[in-house]
Amino acid sequence: MSSIAVIPGTYDPITLGHVDVIARAQKLFDTVIVAVASSREKRPLFSLEKRIELVKASVSPEVEVFGFSGLLVDFCAEKRAQVVVKGLRATTDFEYELAQADINAKLNPNLESVYIMAHPELGYISSSAVREMARLGADVAQFVTPAVKTALAEVDF
Ligand code: COA
């Protein structure tokens, strides 16, 4: 049976930290699907369509990219994914991720959550820090791909 992994997130916007986790997941699973959550309650800076476009422009062409707005477990079932992959950056991520993994396991006990430790040089990056830096005029080239840098430069903050 081929292994299918889903890597979910809001990706507002995708950062080099995400890109690293996605590339490493590709070495472990036959198919890697990035699931871009609508996350309406977070009032994202970029529209869902733009976030999907920026993920596609930032990862290798073998990675499948979709938006979703319901439960993650339902999206995984629709895509026949057996695994959810997330990046872990610091101990502060752990409790939040543990709670999400526990909820997802209750909703679908057959779905496994797997964690990839963030690259030591990328662990401090977050989408909100990138948005803040772009808003305040810092060069974000070392944190995001060129496509994301261009998109941030076009935002009227
Ligand atoms: N590199 C860089 N940043 C990373 C990262 C990495 N490897 N891993 C996580 N992050 C950052 C994100 O950029 C984000 O940063 P920000 O808050 O500063 O913007 C933060 O960590 C949180 O990311 P994440 O844990 O992926 O949360 P999210 O809000 O982006 O996505 C979902 C969460 C979409 C996976 C989750 O809400 C979900 O499954 N929603 C669907 C509804 C559902 O099923 N709910 C029940 C389960 S609780």
pLDDT computed for residue 47 by the predictor: 98
Residue among 50, 53, 54, 62 at smallest CA distance from 23: 62
With beta carbons less than 8 A apart as the criterion, state whether 25 and 35 touch: no
Write down the pLDDT at residue 105: 96
126 catalytic per annotation:
no
Cα 64 to ligand 1 centre (Å) = 18
CATH of the domain at 38: 3.40.50.620
Residues of the chain predicted below pLDDT 50: none
Q: How far is the CA of 9 from the centre of ligand 1 (A)?
A: 4
H helix count then E strand count, the chain: 6, 5
User: Is residue 145 within 8 Å of 58, Cβ to Cβ?
Assistant: yes
In this prediction, residue 91 carries a pLDDT of 82
Is 135 part of the annotated catalytic residue set?
no
> Is the CB–ligand 1 distance for residue 127 below 6 Å?
yes
Predicted confidence at residue 75, as pLDDT, reads 98
pLDDT at 76: 98
Q: What is the pLDDT of residues 59-78, one digit of tens each?
A: 999 999 999 999 999 999 99
Interhelix angle 146-153/127-135, nearest 10 degrees = 50
User: Could you read off the pLDDT of 6-22 as tens digits, one per residue?
Assistant: 999 999 999 999 999 99
Q: Residue 52 is part of which domain span?
A: 4-153
Find the 138 Cα to ligand 1 centroid distance in Å. 24
> Cβ(39) to ligand 1 under 6 A?
yes
pLDDT recorded at residue 1: 84
CA dihedral 14, 87, 94, 102 (to 10 degrees): 100
**End-to-end Cα, the chain, rounded Å:** 47
Are the beta carbons of 108 and 77 closer than 8 angstroms? Answer: yes
In sequence order, what are the residues at sequence separation of 6 or more whose Cβ sits closer than 8 angstroms to the Cβ of residue 103?
none
Residue 83 has a CB neighbour count (10 Å cut-off) of 18
Number of structural domains, the chain?
Answer: 1
